[in-house]
Amino acid sequence: MTTTPAPATPTPCRILVVEDELIVSADLQDRLSRLGYKVAGAASTGEDAVKKAVDLHPDIVLMDIILKGDMDGIEAAALVKQRCQIPVIFLTANSNDMILERAKVTEPFGYLLKPFEQRHLKMNIDIAVYKSRLERERAQLLRELQDALARVKTLSGLLPICAWCKNVRDDEGYWKSVESYVQSHTDARFSHCLCPECMEKHFPAADQASPPAAQG
């Protein structure tokens, strides 16, 4: 009796929490754990956030915009995107238009105004994870297409061919066999054989020696 293997348990989303208020950070980490996510780490400054994003490579970064130190959350998010391509969701209590415009330049995957409800937090994270996966798949398909196009060299245009020996002239003016030319311009490989017409013309004895086809 065959046993159907149990479906693989999905790996929980790993989240880096960037918040300079320790109590707020601890509460947010607890809420994430209760929602089924895994806290990959926590940072309280922009510099530390960038370093931990590079080292831990989480799935999502929850980034408070107003941070202590020389680097705020928007600057940190721009560096995280540049170095890691990790989705960032901004957290802020400030809805100032100027801050929002600065934040938009970093192309965040979400923007949550504090205080936010747990369901809004989960919704933003799940949408960010989904969009991030789609972007990775699209980027992978694009890379595969570019690799395929780089490998395939198209034969096109007018190809000079010798009427006597059937060699062809390449783009650099050198004459070479058809096999050599095609192999250097495509991924095709050759195996040599004789067509029935050449077999009959050049090797009639071999053709006559072939056993007759079986009669039904």
Q: Which fold has domain 14-135?
A: Rossmann fold (3.40.50)
Q: What value does the mean pLDDT take over residues 68-89?
A: 93
Reported confidence tier of residue 216, pLDDT bands at 50, 70, 90: very low
Q: Where are the domains of the chain?
A: 14-135, 150-208
Task: Please write the tens of the pLDDT for every residue from 96-143.
Answer: 888 888 888 888 898 898 888 899 999 999 999 999 888 888 888 888
Alpha carbon distance 71, 21 (integer Å)? 16
Residue 80 scores a pLDDT above 60: yes
Reported confidence tier of residue 151, pLDDT bands at 50, 70, 90: low
Task: Please write the tens of the pLDDT for every residue from 4-48.
Answer: 555 555 688 999 999 999 999 999 999 999 999 999 999 999 999
Structure tokens given for 91: 């957290």
Q: Is the model's pTM score more than 0.75?
A: no
Residue 205 scores a pLDDT above 80: no
Task: Please write the tens of the pLDDT for every residue from 171-188.
Answer: 777 888 877 777 777 666
Report whether 90 contacts 77 (CB < 8 A). Answer: yes
Res 152: pLDDT = 56
